[in-house]
Structure 1
Amino acid sequence: MDILLTTYPRHKSKNVGDSLITDSAIKLVRYRVPSYDPDIYFREDSLEGIDKEEVRTILIPGFSVNNDTYPSLFKMYSDITDISNKIYVTGCSFQNLVANVDTYKNYEYNKETKEILQLLANSSGTIPCRDQLIHEMLIRNNIRASYIGDLALYDDEKITEKFVPPESVKSVAFTIQHNTKFLSQSKKLLSLIKREFSDSDLYVVHHSKPNKIPKLIADYAVSLGFIEKDISGDSEHLKFYEDIDLHIGYRLHGHIHFLRNRKPSFLMAEDCRSFGISKTGLLKTGIFEAMENDGISVRDVAPYELMKSVRSNIKSQYHDYNKLFSYIDEVYYECVRPFFDQFCIKIGWKISFWEKLGLYFRGFGENISYFKNNR
Structure 2
Amino acid sequence: MAKFALLHGAKENSGDFLIRDAAKSLLINVGGIDEEELLMVDVVRENVPNSVMDEISDTKAAFLAGGPGYQPDFYPGVYPSMKDLLDATTVVPLGPGWKGIDEDKYTFTVESTKLLQRIAEQDQVPYLGARDIPTVRVLRKHGVAAELTGCPAWYYPDGFPPSRVFDPPSQINEIIVSSPPQNSTKYMIQYYILIQNLLEKYPGSVITCAFHRGEHKNAHIPIIGYPWEKATWAANTSAILYKYISKIGKENDRIKIFDASQSADYINRYSKADLHVGYRVHGHIPALAAGIPSFLLQIDGRGFGVSESLETPGDVSARQGIYRPISDVMESISNSISNAYSDFESVDENRMHAYENMTSLISPIL
TM band (smaller chain): 0.7 to 0.9
Q: Does 1:238 align with 2:236?
A: no
Corresponding position of 2:291: 262
Once the two structures are TM-superposed, the CA of residue 78 in structure 1 deviates from its matched residue by 5.5
| d(CA) in 2 for partners of 1:5, 1:53 | 13
Counterpart of 1:82 in 2: which secondary structure? helix
Kept in 2, the 8 Å contact 1:278–1:287? The answer is yes
Once the two structures are TM-superposed, the CA of residue 22 in structure 1 deviates from its matched residue by 0.8
| Identity of matched residues, % | 22
| d(CA) in 2 for partners of 1:25, 1:158 | 14
Bigger drift between 155-164 and 23-32 goes to 155-164
Alignment of 1:274-285 (within 5 A): 274-280=303-309, 282-285=310-313
Counterpart of 2:135 in 1: which secondary structure? helix
Assess, with a 3 A threshold, how the Cα gap between structure 1 residues 20 and 264 changes in structure 2: closer, same or farther. same
Q: Does 1:173 align with 2:202?
A: no
Tell me which amino acid in the other structure corresponds to 1:251: R
Corresponding position of 1:308: 331
Corresponding position of 1:217: 241
Assess, with a 3 A threshold, how the Cα gap between structure 1 residues 163 and 279 changes in structure 2: closer, same or farther. closer
Tell me which amino acid in the other structure corresponds to 1:262: G
Q: Does 1:198 align with 2:203?
A: yes
Corresponding position of 2:115: 116
Corresponding position of 1:361: none
Deviations 1:38-70 (A, max 9, x none): 121111141422325412211111161213322
Tell me which amino acid in the other structure corresponds to 1:289: S
| d(CA) in 1 for partners of 2:300, 2:57 | 40
Kept in 1, the 8 Å contact 2:189–2:322? The answer is no
Counterpart of 2:208 in 1: which secondary structure? strand
Root mean square deviation of aligned Cα? 2.1
Moved over 4 A (4+): none
Kept in 2, the 8 Å contact 1:17–1:235? The answer is yes
Assess, with a 3 A threshold, how the Cα gap between structure 1 residues 79 and 203 changes in structure 2: closer, same or farther. closer
Kept in 1, the 8 Å contact 2:8–2:41? The answer is yes
Assess, with a 3 A threshold, how the Cα gap between structure 1 residues 207 and 187 changes in structure 2: closer, same or farther. same
Deviations 1:230-268 (A, max 9, x none): 121111232122321111111110110101111111110
Counterpart of 2:261 in 1: which secondary structure? coil
Tell me which amino acid in the other structure corresponds to 1:340: I
Q: Does 1:185 align with 2:190?
A: yes
Deviations 1:328-347 (A, max 9, x none): 223323x122223334xx2x
Kept in 1, the 8 Å contact 2:287–2:294? The answer is yes
Kept in 2, the 8 Å contact 1:172–1:245? The answer is yes
TM-score (norm 1): 0.81
Counterpart of 1:55 in 2: which secondary structure? coil
Q: Does 1:28 align with 2:32?
A: no
Corresponding position of 1:150: 151
Corresponding position of 2:352: 329
| d(CA) in 2 for partners of 1:53, 1:6 | 17
Corresponding position of 2:10: 8
Q: 2:361 aligns with which of 334, 339, 346?
A: 339
Instruction: Provide structure 2 residue ranges, at least 5 long, that are not aligned to the other structure.
Output: 220-236
Q: 2:65 aligns with which of 48, 58, 61?
A: 61
Q: 1:72 aligns with which of 64, 77, 80?
A: 77
Tell me which amino acid in the other structure corresponds to 2:192: K
TM-score (norm 2): 0.83
Counterpart of 1:164 in 2: which secondary structure? coil
Bigger drift between 216-225 and 172-181 goes to 216-225
Counterpart of 2:117 in 1: which secondary structure? helix
Corresponding position of 1:288: 316
Residue-pair matches, total: 327
Corresponding position of 2:232: none
Tell me which amino acid in the other structure corresponds to 1:336: M
Assess, with a 3 A threshold, how the Cα gap between structure 1 residues 300 and 201 changes in structure 2: closer, same or farther. closer
Kept in 1, the 8 Å contact 2:187–2:322? The answer is no
Tell me which amino acid in the other structure corresponds to 2:204: D
Kept in 2, the 8 Å contact 1:245–1:263? The answer is yes
Counterpart of 2:165 in 1: which secondary structure? coil
Bigger drift between 146-155 and 168-177 goes to 146-155
Instruction: Provide structure 1 residue ranges, at least 5 long, that are not aligned to the other structure.
Output: 293-297, 347-375
Kept in 2, the 8 Å contact 1:47–1:76? The answer is no
Bigger drift between 238-247 and 260-269 goes to 238-247
Kept in 2, the 8 Å contact 1:158–1:261? The answer is no
Deviations 1:61-91 (A, max 9, x none): 116121332233223366345335x111121
| d(CA) in 2 for partners of 1:28, 1:94 | 22
Corresponding position of 1:88: 92
Assess, with a 3 A threshold, how the Cα gap between structure 1 residues 53 and 202 changes in structure 2: closer, same or farther. closer
Counterpart of 2:305 in 1: which secondary structure? helix
Corresponding position of 2:223: none
